[in-house]
Amino acid sequence: MKFGFGRRMSEILFGAVAIALMLSPVAHAEKYASIVVDADTNEVLHARFADEPRYPASLTKAMTLYMVFDALKSGELTLSEDMPVSRAAASQPPSNLRLTPGSTISVRDAIRALVTKSANDVAVVIAERLGVTESRFATLMTAKAHALGMSRTTFRNASGLPDARQVSTARDMAILAERLLEDHAGYYHYFSTDSFQWGSRKYPNHNALLNSVDGVDGIKTGYTRASGFNLMTSARRDGRRVIAIMFGGSTSRSRNEHVTDLVEAAFNSFNTQQMDDAVMTSYAMSAPNSPAHQDGAALPMLNGQVFVPVVGEGDESGAVIEAQAPAN
C-alpha cells in the first residue's frame, strides 16, 4: 500500500510548510514525526519527517494485535483460549497486569489488556503463544510488516520496550492502521475499548482522544523516554475517515493537542466546499506543521505559534509510572 500527495496539493502543501518553517523559530526535533492520510483515497494530507526512523514504543502493540487478528481469522487462536503465562512474561516491567507464572489469560482479555493498559507482560504471553519465543515472534512481526508495505520497520520485541534496533516511521504506522481497518474490520472495535477490568482493578484506555474528539475510534498510544509520547489514531465523520500518526510528544497532553489539531484540520479540508480542495487543505494543514522542542520532543503548533503546555498537566493516567517504566 502506498500513500501519496495529489500533484497540485503536494506543491501547495510543501510551499505552506516551507513558509511556516521560515516564519517560526523552530529547530527540527529528533523525535518528532507526523503524517495525516485520507483513508478513503490514500492521499497524504500532511507529512513531516514521515519516513525518518523513530522508536515506536507501544505502537508496536498494534502490530502484535494485527498478528493476533490474523491468527483468529485463520483459526490458530480463538477468543476463549487461555494462554499460559511464563516466567519471562511475568517478569516484564510496567506497564503490566502483574501476571504470575503458571497463570493464564484468555485471548479476549489479552486483546483488551493491550489496547487499554498496554500491558507488556501480556504482549510476551501472546508472542510466546504465536512464536514460541518473543524473539522469533518479533521476526515474524517484521516479516509481516514488510509484506504489508512497512519497509522501514523492524521489530525486536512484542511490546515496544526500549531496543535501539526496533524502529518504524510515521508512514509505516499509517500503513499499519490502514491495514488493521481493511484486513481486520471485525476486530477493529477493540481499539475503542474504554476500560478493561482485571481482577479487582479497572484500567482506563490511555487514548484520551477516544472520548474527547468527535469521530475518533482508535487506536494506540505509546511512550518511552527515547520515543517521547506517540499516538496513532483514526477518526470517521460523515462517511470520511482519516488516519493521523505522531511521534515524539513532550507530554501526553501536548501530543493529544497536536494530533487533535491534525485531525480537525483534515476534516476541515473536507467540509469546506467554497474553496478549491487543494487550497483549503493547504490552509487547514499549514498551522499544525513541525513542532519541536530543544530537547527533541515535539510541542504542538497553534495558528503558527508554538503552544507550550504546563509540564505534566493532563498527562495520561500513569504518566509518572510510564516515566519510570517505558512502553505504555
- How far apart are alpha carbons 185 and 325 in whole angstroms? 32
Would you state the pLDDT for residue 3? 64
Please give the model's pTM, rounded to 2 decimal places.
0.81
- How far apart are alpha carbons 186 and 235 in whole angstroms? 17
The verdict on residue 2 lying in a domain is: no
Mean pLDDT for the chain overall: 82
Residue 56 banded pLDDT, cuts 50, 70, 90: very high
Q: What average pLDDT does the segment 78-93 reach?
A: 98
Active-site residue among 95, 118, 254, 286?
118
The domain of 102 spans: 7-324
With 70 as the cut, is the pLDDT of residue 10 above it?
no
Q: What average pLDDT does the segment 282-302 reach?
A: 46
For the stretch 20-24, contacts whose Cβ atoms lie closer than 8 Å and that sit 24 or more positions apart, written own/partner, are 20/286, 20/287, 20/289, 20/290, 20/301, 20/304, 21/289, 21/290, 23/304, 24/289, 24/301, 24/304, 24/305, 24/306
The verdict on residue 125 lying in a domain is: yes
Residue 271 banded pLDDT, cuts 50, 70, 90: confident
Cβ count within 10 A of residue 197:
11
Residue 270 banded pLDDT, cuts 50, 70, 90: confident
| pLDDT tens readout for residues 113-162 | 999 999 999 999 999 999 999 999 999 999 999 999 999 999 999 999 99
The verdict on residue 1 lying in a domain is: no
| pLDDT tens readout for residues 199-256 | 999 999 999 999 999 999 999 999 999 999 999 999 999 999 999 999 999 889 989 9
Residue 53 banded pLDDT, cuts 50, 70, 90: very high
> Which runs of E-coded beta strand occur in 137-269?
195-198, 201-204, 216-224, 228-237, 240-249
The verdict on residue 310 lying in a domain is: yes
Q: What are the residues whose beta carbons fall under 8 Å from the beta carbon of 244, sequence distance 6 or more?
A: 34, 35, 36, 37, 231, 232, 233, 234, 235, 259, 262, 263, 266
Residue 272 banded pLDDT, cuts 50, 70, 90: low
Q: Are 143 and 309 in contact (CB under 8 A)?
A: no
Whole-angstrom CA distances from 93 to 81, 138, 166, 251 are 25, 18, 18, 21
Q: Are 122 and 113 in contact (CB under 8 A)?
A: yes
Of residues 223, 312, 207, 310, the one with CA closest to residue 263: 207
- How far apart are alpha carbons 132 and 201 in whole angstroms? 29
* 58 catalytic per annotation: yes
The verdict on residue 163 lying in a domain is: yes
With 70 as the cut, is the pLDDT of residue 269 above it?
yes
Cα within 13 Å of Cα(23), Cβ side: 14
Domains: count for the chain: 1
Active-site residue among 58, 234, 269, 282?
58
CATH number at residue 123: 3.40.710.10
* 61 catalytic per annotation: yes
Set of cell numbers at residue 180: 488493521
Active-site residue among 31, 34, 61, 95?
61
| pLDDT tens readout for residues 93-109 | 999 999 999 999 999 99
The strand pair at 240-249 and 301-302 is best described as unpaired
Q: What average pLDDT does the segment 246-273 reach?
A: 88
| pLDDT tens readout for residues 19-31 | 333 333 222 368 9
| pLDDT tens readout for residues 108-121 | 999 999 999 999 99
